Each structure stands twice: as structure tokens, then as C-alpha cells.
């Protein structure tokens, strides 16, 4: 049983999604219990993998369709022929946090999405989104990666456009789907270029055989740039604000993790597929690192300056998720830039590894606090019936829990101790300073502007006199929404107070999974 865990984690929500119309016949409450237990089961299965992978530093391989799933080359062949799932620290880290955000999103949407006959489709798409995220984080097969990417984009787009009777959501869904399918088409072109040379889709096999020809570099560009677009890096970020702001709040929280799954693709491909730190022939890591750093710095700066002037609270937060993506790209980009230099990895050990720690730590932090902020934005929109900050006032008088959750999220994203954003940002500042002080200064400046723009939201929506006439919904919050926000707050606090434990047990194995010259 335990050896089949990797495929069960993907198969259980996938099957549950297709069984759901049958379960719905039994009633709404059995449906909710069923889906809740599926989310819990996925979380538990993922957590049960943590000891093996993160503490004993194993890498799990699962060969689909083989007689014995753990042998990589079943029939004594020299190369793997079947689809291989490979779980190392980085995959597991991303999958665990995707599953947690998925659970929170489901809890939050329990009463948030009205039970009007379409809720069933909503839950199915939520499950498919989880399948897409976890699948693309687990797979070691390029074509399989592409398929899961498409599952993810189709379910995301359908969820973004969920409120089809309103004016803008269908167009937002159209935008998301067009951007995604254009990106995945280019990605598939890159996969084809790899397949043309090496005759396999297995990442590890291609990495062993890689000869770093011109075609490989073209394939690298065709894979990295579209995935960066899906992750929302400047200058390809404009769709982020338009789509995030139209989606229902729990979906937006999950869209953040969906974007980070694409970011996972960027890092996974630059290290595991194209990484070659020992051979003399290699792609120029310094240039690749600088491309990613420039994308990151532009994302940070343009994202935050655009967020500062927004009047729509969800657009403001969407621009912040662009800005936070910049931090991750910056941290890991510095790691890539010094990865295979001529100094034999001295710079990498001195500060590159630390920068990557910060970048990857920031990924999981961001999935928590950005999700939390989008959930509080959902409460604001529910209360006032609009996302316009000018027409909100005095929410702190009646929604005390939401106010606390918002303060926790806003302080975490601005990097104020003792919340988790401070830990990762401090690591990024300190390590990037050794690489290039100027980048570190920009990162700090962006952090200040982040705090300023959340001050604007706090001032606009929470402070001020209580105005009952502006409220469109005066009911107390459903418990599901409170529970969702509470879980997020808890994680932010834990990761802020015990960052060293998170780094030791989650981030270091993730870096060990990516980097080969430890």
C-alpha cells in the first residue's frame, strides 16, 4: 500500500472528481463530507511522505504500469520507457502546501459559494485543480508535465469565470485560458525539441544524455519563458491582475499556488532538466541566472508600484502577488547565477544556497499569506458588495476576526517580525547583498512600498466610523470561512516563530532535490 502512495495522491482526487455527480444524488451534506475527507486524505498521504523524504533524504520513484513500481528500468532496458513519478524534497514541499491551500479553499467556499445547482461543478473543478498542481509537481516526465499543466489551466480558467452571469468574469477566464494555452503550446514545442534529440520524455534520462547543443538552448527558452509567463513575471504579468480580481476569493487563493506550480516548473527545468554542474559543456548559468534575476527585479518593482495606485482591493492584491513572485525569482535566480561558475561552487556555498533557501521559503510563505489576504478580500467584497476601496469603511467594528487575520497577513507580506514573511525576506536581503548590493536595496525598497499599499487597504476598509448603510450583507461569517482564515494564520505564525525548523526539515531537502553539487 505505502509503495503506491505517489500515484494514490494523484488518483484519489481525480477519481473523486468524477464520482462526485453520483455522490451529489445522496444530498449536499454527504457530498461535502465526501469532498472534505478527500482533501484530508490527500493532506494526510502527503504528510506521511515527509519523514521518508525530508528527514532520511530519500527520493521516491514510481513507475506507472510496471510490475514492480519502484524499479526504474523494469525490463533490463538502459532507459526508462514508462511514465515515472519522482518525488524529492522540492516536489513534496510544493505539493504539501498546494494541498493545504486546497483544503483551506474548500473550507472557505463551504458557505461562500451559494448552493444553486452549480456548486457541484465548482467542487469538481476544485478537485481537478488540486490534481493538476500535485501531478505536475510529482511527475518526472515532460509530456506528463504538459498534460497536468493543461488540466490545471482548464480547471483554473473555468473557476475564474465561475460567475458567468456577471460582466467581466467570462472575459477573465478567456484571458487566463488563452495565456495558458499559448504558453503550453510553446512549452510543448520545447518538449518536442528535446524529444527530437534524445528520444525520451524522462527528465533524468534527458539530463544524463544532454549535449547542450543549440537546439537544447532553444528548447530551454521555449520552456522557461512561457512558464515564467504563467507564473506572472513582468513583463508578461498583465493578465494576472485582470484574472485574479474577477475570480471568487477561495479560487484566487488557490490560483496563487497554481502560479507557483508554474514557478516550480521554471526552477525544476533549470536545475533538473538542463542542470549540468560538472561537465565542461553546459548552458551559461550566469546568463540564465541574470535573466531570471531581471525578471524578478522587474516583477518586484513594477508589481508593487502598480499595486500602490489601485483602487480595487483584489486588483491591488493581485499586483502584490506579481511583486512577491519577484522575490522568489530573485532568490533562486541568484542561486542559479552562481551555480556552476568557474570557482568550483565556492560562491554557491557562500551565499547562493542561502539565496535559494530564501527564495524557496518565500514560495511557501507567499502561498500562505497571499492566500489569507485574498480570503480576507473575499470577506470585504461580501460585506460591501463591491471591491472598490473608496466605498468600504469601518469593517473593524464588526469583523474582528477578519481584521486580525488581515493584520497578520499584511504584516507577514510586508516582512514585519514575528510573521513568516520576515524570515524569508531577511534571508533574501542578506544573501543577495553578497551577490549584488543594488538588488538587495531594491528588494528592501519594495518591501517598504508593500507595507504602504497594505496600509492603504487597512485605512480604507477597516478604519473609520461604522456605516451600516453601506453594508449589503450583515450576517455573521460562516464557520467555514473563519476556519479557513484561521488555518492560514496558524501556519504564518508557526513559520514565523520557528523558521529554523522549517528550513531544516522542509527547505534544505528541497534544495538537495534540486541542486547536485551539495
Partner 1 sequence: MTDFFLYVTVVLLVFFGLSAVLFKRNLIKIVIALNILEAGVNLFFIVLAYRPEGTAPIFTLAPELEKLRMVLPTPQALILTNIVIGFATTALMLVFAVFIYRNNGTLDIRNLKGVEDHD
Partner 2 sequence: MDFLNRFIAQNTGILWYPSLLLGILIILVIVLTVWGRLFFRRDYNKNSPQVKPFNSGNLEEIDYNIASSNLFWGFRKALESYYAVMISSHSGDLNDYLKWLAISIAICFLLIAGGLL
Report the interface residues with partner 2, using CB under 8 A. 175, 178-179, 182-183, 186, 214, 217-218, 220-222, 225-226, 228-229, 235-236, 238-239, 241-242, 283-284, 287-288, 291, 302, 305-306, 308-309, 311, 354, 357, 389-390, 392-393, 417-418, 422-423, 426-427, 430, 452, 455-457, 459-461, 464-465, 496-501, 503-504
| Residues in 465-494 at the binding interface with partner 1, rule: CB under 8 A | none
Least gap, CB of 389 to partner 1 (angstroms):
9
| Residues in 268-327 at the binding interface with partner 1, rule: CB under 8 A | 310-312, 315
Phi first, then psi, for residue 86 (nearest 5°) are: -130, 125
Q: How far apart are CA 456 and CA 410, in angstroms?
A: 11
Q: Which of 21, 27, 51, 192 binds partner 1 (CB under 8 A)?
A: 192
Instruction: Record the cell numbers describing residue 86, joined without a space.
Output: 519522482
Nearer to partner 1, 125 or 503 (CB): 125
Q: Which stretch binds partner 1 (CB under 8 A): 103-111, 185-193, 350-358, 443-451?
A: 185-193
Find out whether 38 and 12 touch, Cβ atoms under 8 Å: yes
Examine residue 73 and tell whether it contacts partner 1 (CB under 8 A): no
Residue window 147-166: x/- pattern of binding to partner 1, with contact defined by CB under 8 A: x--x---x--xx--x--xxx
Instruction: Record the cell numbers describing residue 150, joined without a space.
Output: 493543461
154 binds, among partner 1, partner 2, none (CB under 5 to 8 A by kind): partner 1
457 binds, among partner 2, partner 1, none (CB under 5 to 8 A by kind): partner 2
Among candidates 242, 249, 297, which has minimal Cα distance to 409? 249
- Ordered alpha helix ranges (H), 139-209: 142-160, 169-198, 203-209
161 binds, among partner 2, partner 1, none (CB under 5 to 8 A by kind): partner 1
What b/e readout covers 382-406, taking b as 16+ CB neighbours within 10 angstroms?
bbbeebebeebbbbbeebeebbebb
- From residue 110, give the alpha-carbon distance in Å to each of 32, 113, 118: 8, 7, 13
Examine residue 380 and tell whether it contacts partner 1 (CB under 8 A): no
Examine residue 401 and tell whether it contacts partner 1 (CB under 8 A): no
Least gap, CB of 215 to partner 1 (angstroms):
12
- From residue 224, give the alpha-carbon distance in Å to each of 142, 200, 216, 391: 13, 19, 12, 41
Q: How far apart are CA 473 and CA 402, in angstroms?
A: 15
Left if phi > 0, otherwise alpha if psi is -120 to 50, otherwise beta: which for 279?
beta
Instruction: Record the cell numbers describing residue 171, joined without a space.
Output: 472575459
Least gap, CB of 231 to partner 2 (angstroms):
13
- From residue 233, give the alpha-carbon distance in Å to each of 188, 227, 256, 328: 20, 9, 13, 10
Sign of the alpha-carbon torsion through 404, 163, 230, 299:
negative
Least gap, CB of 95 to partner 2 (angstroms):
23
Nearer to partner 2, 27 or 235 (CB): 235
Least gap, CB of 66 to partner 1 (angstroms):
17
Least gap, CB of 226 to partner 2 (angstroms):
7
Least gap, CB of 245 to partner 1 (angstroms):
9
Q: How far apart are CA 330 and CA 72, in angstroms?
A: 35
Residue 108's H or E segment, with its range, is helix 89-112
Q: Which of 36, 79, 143, 505 binds partner 1 (CB under 8 A)?
A: 143
Least gap, CB of 241 to partner 1 (angstroms):
8
Nearer to partner 1, 304 or 407 (CB): 304
Left if phi > 0, otherwise alpha if psi is -120 to 50, otherwise beta: which for 312?
beta
Question: Which residues, 6+ apart, have CB-to-CB distance to 36 below 8 Å?
Answer: 106, 107
Least gap, CB of 143 to partner 1 (angstroms):
5
185 binds, among partner 1, partner 2, none (CB under 5 to 8 A by kind): partner 1
Least gap, CB of 176 to partner 1 (angstroms):
9
Instruction: Quote the crossing angle between the two packed helices 119-138 and 28-50, to the nearest 10°.
Output: 10
- Over 394-436, what HEC string results? CHHHCCHHHHHHHHHHHHHHHCCCCCHHHHHHHHHHHHHHHHC
DSSP reduced 3-state for 250: helix
37 binds, among partner 2, partner 1, none (CB under 5 to 8 A by kind): none
Provide the greatest CA pair distance for the chain: 74
- Ordered alpha helix ranges (H), 199-284: 203-209, 214-231, 238-244, 249-268
Least gap, CB of 127 to partner 2 (angstroms):
29
Q: Which stretch binds partner 1 (CB under 8 A): 192-200, 212-220, 370-378, 451-459?
A: 192-200
Least gap, CB of 236 to partner 2 (angstroms):
5
Nearer to partner 2, 179 or 414 (CB): 179
Q: Which of 196, 218, 400, 490 binds partner 1 (CB under 8 A)?
A: 196
Q: How many CA atoms lie within 13 A of 54 on its CB side?
A: 21
Q: Which of 36, 79, 121, 195 binds partner 1 (CB under 8 A)?
A: 195
Nearer to partner 2, 198 or 274 (CB): 274
Nearer to partner 2, 64 or 444 (CB): 444
Residues that bind partner 1 (CB under 8 A): 143, 146-147, 150, 154, 157-158, 161, 164-168, 170-175, 177-178, 181-182, 185, 188-189, 192, 195-196, 242, 246, 310-312, 315, 387-388
Amino acid at each position: 500500500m505505502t509503495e503506491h502512495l505517489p500515484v494514490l495522491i494523484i488518483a484519489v482526487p481525480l477519481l473523486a472528481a468524477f464520482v462526485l455527480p453520483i455522490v451529489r444524488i445522496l444530498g449536499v451534506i454527504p457530498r461535502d463530507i465526501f469532498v472534505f475527507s478527500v482533501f484530508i486524505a490527500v493532506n494526510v498521504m502527503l504528510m506521511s511522505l515527509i519523514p521518508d523524504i525530508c528527514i532520511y533524504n530519500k527520493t521516491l520513484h514510481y513507475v506507472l504500469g510496471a510490475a514492480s513500481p519502484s524499479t526504474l528500468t523494469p525490463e533490463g532496458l538502459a532507459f526508462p520507457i514508462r511514465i515515472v513519478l519522482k518525488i524529492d524534497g522540492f516536489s513534496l514541499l510544493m505539493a504539501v502546501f498546494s494541498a493545504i491551500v486546497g483544503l483551506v479553499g474548500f473550507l472557505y467556499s463551504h458557505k461562500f459559494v451559494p448552493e444553486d445547482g452549480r456548486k457541484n461543478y465548482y467542487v469538481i473543478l476544485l478537485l481537478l485543480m488540486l490534481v493538476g498542481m500535485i501531478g505536475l509537481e510529482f511527475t518526472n516526465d515532460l509530456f506528463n508535465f504538459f498534460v497536468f499543466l493543461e488540466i490545471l489551466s482548464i480547471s483554473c480558467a473555468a473557476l475564474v469565470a465561475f460567475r458567468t452571469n456577471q460582466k467581466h468574469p467570462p472575459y477573465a477566464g478567456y484571458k487566463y485560458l488563452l495565456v495558458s494555452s499559448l504558453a503550453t503550446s510553446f512549452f510543448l514545442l520545447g518538449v518536442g525539441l528535446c524529444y527530437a534529440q534524445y528520444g525520451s520524455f524522462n527528465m533524468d534520462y534527458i539530463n544524463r544524455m544532454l549535449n547542450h547543443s543549440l537546439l537544447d538552448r532553444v528548447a530551454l527558452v521555449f520552456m522557461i519563458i512561457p512558464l515564467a509567463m504563467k507564473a506572472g513575471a513582468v513583463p508578461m504579468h498583465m493578465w494576472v491582475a485582470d484574472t485574479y480580481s474577477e475570480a471568487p476569493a477561495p479560487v484566487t487563493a488557490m490560483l496563487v499556488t497554481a502560479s507557483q506550480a508554474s514557478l516550480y516548473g521554471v526552477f525544476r527545468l533549470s536545475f533538473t532538466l538542463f542542470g549540468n554542474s560538472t561537465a565542461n559543456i553546459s548552458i551559461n548559468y550566469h546568463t540564465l541566472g541574470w535573466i531570471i534575476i531581471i525578471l524578478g527585479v522587474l516583477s518586484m518593482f513594477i508589481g508593487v508600484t502598480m499595486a500602490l495606485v489601485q483602487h480595487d482591493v483584489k486588483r491591488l492584491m493581485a499586483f502584490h502577488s506579481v511583486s512577491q513572485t519577484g522575490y522568489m525569482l530573485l532568490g533562486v535566480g541568484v542561486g542559479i547565477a552562481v551555480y556552476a561558475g568557474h570557482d568550483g561552487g565556492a560562491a554557491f556555498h557562500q551565499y547562493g544556497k542561502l539565496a535559494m533557501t530564501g527564495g524557496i521559503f518565500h514560495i511557501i510563505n507567499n502561498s500562505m499569506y497571499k492566500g489569507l489576504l485574498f480570503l480576507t478580500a473575499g470577506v470585504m467584497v461580501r460585506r460591501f458588495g463591491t471591491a472598490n476601496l473608496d466605498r468600504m469603511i469601518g469593517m473593524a467594528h464588526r469583523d474582528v476576526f477578519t481584521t486580525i487575520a488581515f493584520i497578520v497577513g499584511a504584516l507577514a507580506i510586508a516582512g514585519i517580525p514575528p510573521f513568516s514573511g520576515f524570515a524569508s525576506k531577511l534571508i533574501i536581503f542578506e544573501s543577495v547583498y553578497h551577490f549584488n548590493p543594488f538588488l538587495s536595496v531594491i528588494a528592501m525598497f519594495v518591501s517598504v512600498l508593500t507595507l504602504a499599499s497594505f496600509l492603504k487597504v487597512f485605512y480604507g476598509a477597516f478604519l473609520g466610523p461604522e456605516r451600516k448603510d453601506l453594508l449589503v450583507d450583515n450576517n455573521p461569517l460562516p464557520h467555514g470561512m473563519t476556519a479557513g482564515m484561521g488555518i492560514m494564520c496558524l501556519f504564518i505564525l508557526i513559520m514565523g516563530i520557528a523558521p529554523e525548523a522549517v528550513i531544516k526539515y522542509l527547505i534544505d531537502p528541497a534544495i538537495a532535490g534540486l541542486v547536485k553539487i551539495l
